[in-house]
């Protein structure tokens, strides 16, 4: 039985949404349909202006600020100022910037004009009367622009309302605007990635000149709580780290400086802190004392429309196979590049490395002709076997034998090398999952890996891209630099080997430092930290099913 109420009205449209619609239909869709919001310096400056105006209420006669909602128009909004002159209402809109100039005369920007006209229609419907004109104050140049409300203006507002309703019913995100200048001042450019979309639609240049709107780094820190006697709590607008027995002073972190909280073993977090982290979109992740991934608590903008697009795309076997080929190629070429890089750096490289890299090159050439996932997984398995068989040849002569790799053993790790890999892959798993949820995709809907236990397929797909640069290389480098104590940094129980407390802390420092290293993307042409690259790759994957594809899984080590 259908429980939907046929008389239930569609939610009213914000007048500010009409402003976004005229500025860029894609911006409107991101905000109003996918509910993606991001405030930048310009947005905060506009809020400060309106706060200052709000404090002036009551100091000037006839000024009011009203919030109105009209079921007839399907509009709602908060009017900056409403004056009454000679018995007539005059809506005022305040803008921080400059007006549009036509023949030297101040003119409202099209989006500002429709916005203030929509407010006028709201006033007419909710308060009665007829409004003849509206006014917009541009504060940067202290200009007041008069906007007449005529029949043409009324019809324009109605047309844009209907257009907005149509877009709200669509599951397809509009294309990027052709006016590139609009993207420069758009707060959602780091989410929309308009330059990357334009780049994907043209023939890729050898040295693309992409304007970067995506932040190069995330200044927020990842807080690891390793000591079981430490607890995460909330104190006002800060994250509080306290010692359960009060034996150490409390530590306070501003909430805006924290990106993730990772709880290891039996460390604790309060429900107040969990709720605050959810509100501030701070990911909370749990790992066992042995480094096994347990679970995550991450909030993100996972709207239905985006999940529908993801589901439709990844249910297409041919589309999934195309993406899978790219991921296997990316992973295999990075593994091969590691062997080649170390071969060049070793004083006496083994000829077996050259033989192995040649074999891997042969397998990689066959990837594009594979027509099913099972065969592709077979090729990936052969590449992995060749790679892990060669890893012992990359270890320096003076390194203790206990740190030499002996194949790949997962659960449990059977040697110190695999203990380092397993803990590193757990850290990578939670970081990739965090990026997927922050972007708003569904981690259970993958294209290459099959669902199993709690390891979401899409997370495993992305790990293939990042496991070599973020885990394999740091492990090799740290071993050859003799950073590990075979006794103090590891716990051995029978055949099982785990990192000790000191070992985990040391690996966390190495891993987090590696994430902050920069890498220049060979296709988009700009440099990002590895930490940011994870989110970028998730956003580039989403573009693959939005007619803006071609950039996903193009990362290659040099």
Q: Where are the domains of the chain?
A: 13-173, 221-287, 304-544
pLDDT in tens, 355-370: 999 999 999 999 999 9
Q: What is the pLDDT of residue 67?
A: 86
CA distance 189 to 182: 10
pLDDT band for 46, please (50, 70, 90 cuts).
very low
CA distance 558 to 554: 12
Q: Residues 27, 185: contact at Cβ < 8 Å? A: no
Residues in the chain: 558
pLDDT > 90 in the chain, percent: 46
Q: Which of 9, 4, 7, 27 is nearest to 17 (CA)?
A: 27
Say yes or no to pLDDT of 256 above 90.
Answer: no
CA distance 458 to 452: 11
Residue 73, C-beta contacts closer than 8 angstroms, at least 6 positions apart:
12, 121, 122, 125, 161
Choice between 39 and 502, residue whose per-residue pLDDT is larger: 502
Choice between 94 and 46, residue whose per-residue pLDDT is larger: 94
What is the H or E stretch that residue 147 is in? strand 143-148
Write down the CATH number for the domain with range 13-173: 3.90.320.10
Count of CB atoms situated within 10 Å of the CB of 71: 10
Domain formed by 221-287, architecture: Ribosomal Protein L15; Chain: K; domain 2 (3.100)
* Long-range contact pairs involving 515-521 (C-beta distance under 8 Å, separation at least 24): 515/431, 515/470, 516/217, 518/216, 518/217, 519/469, 519/555, 521/554, 521/555
Most confidently modeled range among 35-44, 119-128, 191-200, 457-466: 457-466
Q: What is the pLDDT of residue 302?
A: 61
Say yes or no to pLDDT of 60 above 60.
Answer: no
pLDDT band for 511, please (50, 70, 90 cuts).
very high
Mean pLDDT over 519-526 rounds to 82
Q: What is the pLDDT of residue 6?
A: 40
Mean pLDDT over 97-101 rounds to 88
Q: What is the pLDDT of residue 9?
A: 61
CA distance 70 to 83: 20
Q: What distance, in Å, lies between the first and last C-alpha atoms of the chain?
A: 59
pLDDT band for 63, please (50, 70, 90 cuts).
low
pLDDT in tens, 286-296: 988 878 888 88
- The class of domain 304-544 in CATH terms is mainly alpha
pTM of structure: 0.81
Q: Which of 184, 22, 431 is nearest to 192 (CA)?
A: 184
Q: What is the pLDDT of residue 15?
A: 92
| Half-sphere exposure (Cβ direction) of 77: Cα atoms closer than 13 Å | 27
Count of CB atoms situated within 10 Å of the CB of 78: 14
Q: What is the pLDDT of residue 407?
A: 74
Q: What is the pLDDT of residue 301?
A: 66
Mean pLDDT over 46-54 rounds to 50
Torsions phi, psi of 294, nearest 5?
-110, -55
């Amino acid at each position: 039985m259908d429980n939907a109420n046929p008389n239930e009205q569609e939610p009213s449209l914000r007048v500010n949404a009409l402003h976004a619609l005229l500025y860029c239909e894609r911006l409107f869709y991101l905000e109003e349909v996918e509910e993606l919001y991001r405030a930048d310096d310009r947005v905060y400056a506009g809020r400060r202006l309106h706060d200052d105006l709000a404090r002036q209420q009551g100091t000037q006669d006839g000024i009011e600020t009203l919030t109105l909602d009209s079921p007839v128009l399907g509009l709602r909004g908060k009017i900056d100022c409403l004056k009454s002159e000679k018995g007539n209402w005059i809506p005022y809109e305040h803008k921080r910037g400059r007006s549009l100039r036509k023949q030297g005369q101040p003119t409202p920007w099209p989006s500002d004009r429709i916005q203030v006209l929509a407010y006028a229609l709201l006033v007419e419907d909710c308060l009665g009367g007829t409004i003849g004109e509206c006014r917009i104050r541009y504060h940067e140049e202290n200009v007041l622009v008069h906007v007449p409300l005529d029949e043409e203006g009324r019809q324009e507002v109605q047309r844009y309302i209907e257009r907005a309703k149509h877009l709200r019913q669509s599951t397809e995100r509009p294309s990027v605007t052709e006016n590139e200048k609009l993207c420069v001042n758009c707060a959602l450019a780091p989410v929309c990635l308009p330059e990357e979309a334009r780049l994907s639609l043209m023939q890729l240049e050898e040295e693309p000149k992409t304007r970067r709107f995506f932040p190069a780094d995330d200044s927020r820190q990842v807080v690891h709580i390793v000591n079981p006697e430490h607890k995460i709590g909330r104190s006002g607008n800060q994250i509080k780290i306290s010692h359960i027995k009060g034996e150490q002073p409390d530590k306070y972190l501003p909430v805006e400086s924290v990106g993730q909280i990772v709880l290891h073993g039996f460390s604790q977090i309060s429900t107040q802190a969990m709720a605050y982290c959810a509100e501030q979109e701070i990911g909370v992740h749990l790992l066992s004392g042995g480094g096994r991934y347990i679970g995550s608590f991450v909030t993100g903008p996972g709207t239905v429309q985006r999940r529908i697009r993801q589901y439709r795309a990844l249910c297409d076997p041919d589309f999934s196979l195309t993406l899978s080929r790219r991921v296997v190629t990316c992973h295999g070429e990075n593994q091969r590049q590691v062997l080649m890089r170390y071969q060049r750096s070793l004083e006496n490289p083994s000829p077996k490395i050259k033989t192995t890299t040649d074999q891997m090159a042969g397998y990689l050439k066959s990837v594009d002709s594979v027509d099913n996932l099972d065969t592709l997984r077979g090729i990936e398995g052969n590449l992995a076997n060749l790679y892990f068989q060669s890893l012992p040849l990359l270890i320096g002569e003076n390194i203790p034998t206990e740190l030499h790799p002996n194949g790949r053993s997962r659960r449990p790790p059977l040697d110190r090398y695999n203990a380092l890999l397993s803990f590193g892959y757990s850290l990578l798993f939670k970081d990739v999952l965090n990026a997927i949820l922050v972007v708003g995709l569904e981690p259970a809907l993958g294209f290459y890996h099959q669902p199993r236990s709690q390891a979401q397929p899409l997370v495993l797909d992305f790990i293939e891209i990042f496991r070599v640069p973020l885990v394999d290389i740091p492990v090799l480098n740290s071993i050859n630099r003799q950073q590990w104590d075979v006794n103090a940094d590891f716990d051995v129980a029978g055949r099982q080997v785990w990192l000790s407390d000191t070992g985990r802390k040391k690996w966390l420092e190495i891993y987090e430092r590696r994430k902050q290293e920069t890498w220049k993307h060979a296709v988009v042409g700009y440099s990002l930290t590895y930490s940011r690259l994870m989110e970028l790759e998730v956003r580039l994957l989403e573009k693959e099913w939005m007619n803006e594809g071609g950039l996903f899984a193009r990362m290659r080590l040099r």
